[in-house]
Amino acid sequence: MLLTPDQQIRLEEANKRLVTHPDDVSAICRRGDLLRIGEDYRGALKDFNVADIFDPNNAKTLKARGTVKMHLGDFDGAMKDLNRSDEIEPEDQYTLKVRGATLIKMGRFEEGLKDLEKAAELRVDDYFVVQFYGVAKMMQGQYEQAEDDFTHALQLYPRAHDVFINRAKVRIELSNYIGALSDLDRAEELTGYLSEIYQVRGELKDMMGDSEGSQIDLKRAREIVDADTKAQKARESLKGYDF
CA–CA separation, 63 vs 224, rounded Å? 29
* 3-class SS of residue 56: coil
pLDDT band at 242 (very low <50, low <70, confident <90, very high): very low
Return the pLDDT at 2.
Answer: 67
Q: What CATH number should be reported for the domain holding residue 141?
A: 1.25.40.10
Among 201, 191, 208, which Cα is nearest to 169's?
201
> Is residue 201 included in any domain, yes or no?
yes
> Is residue 105 included in any domain, yes or no?
no
> Is residue 152 included in any domain, yes or no?
yes
> Is residue 3 included in any domain, yes or no?
no
- Min mean pLDDT across 6-10, 160-164, 198-202, 221-225 is at 6-10
> Is residue 145 included in any domain, yes or no?
yes
Mean pLDDT over 173-177 rounds to: 98
Cβ–Cβ under 8 Å, residues 86 and 99: yes
> Is residue 82 included in any domain, yes or no?
no
The contacts found for 183-190 with CB under 8 angstroms, 24 or more apart, are 186/161, 187/161, 187/162, 190/2, 190/159, 190/161, 190/164
- Kindly report, residue by residue over 83-97, the tens digit of the pLDDT: 999 999 999 999 999
Q: What percent of the chain has pLDDT over 90?
A: 81
What mean pLDDT is reported for the chain? 93
Cβ–Cβ under 8 Å, residues 149 and 134: yes
> Is residue 75 included in any domain, yes or no?
no
CA–CA separation, 1 vs 37, rounded Å? 8
> Is residue 8 included in any domain, yes or no?
no
- Domain range for residue 165? 125-243
Cβ–Cβ under 8 Å, residues 94 and 63: yes
Return the pLDDT at 189.
Answer: 95
Number of folded domains in the chain? Answer: 1
* pTM assigned to the model: 0.88
Cβ–Cβ under 8 Å, residues 101 and 81: no
Contact residues for 141 (Cβ-Cβ < 8 A; gap 6+) = none
- Kindly report, residue by residue over 189-239, the tens digit of the pLDDT: 998 889 999 999 999 999 999 999 999 999 999 999 998 788 777 656 654
Among 51, 93, 90, which Cα is nearest to 68's?
51
Return the pLDDT at 239.
Answer: 45
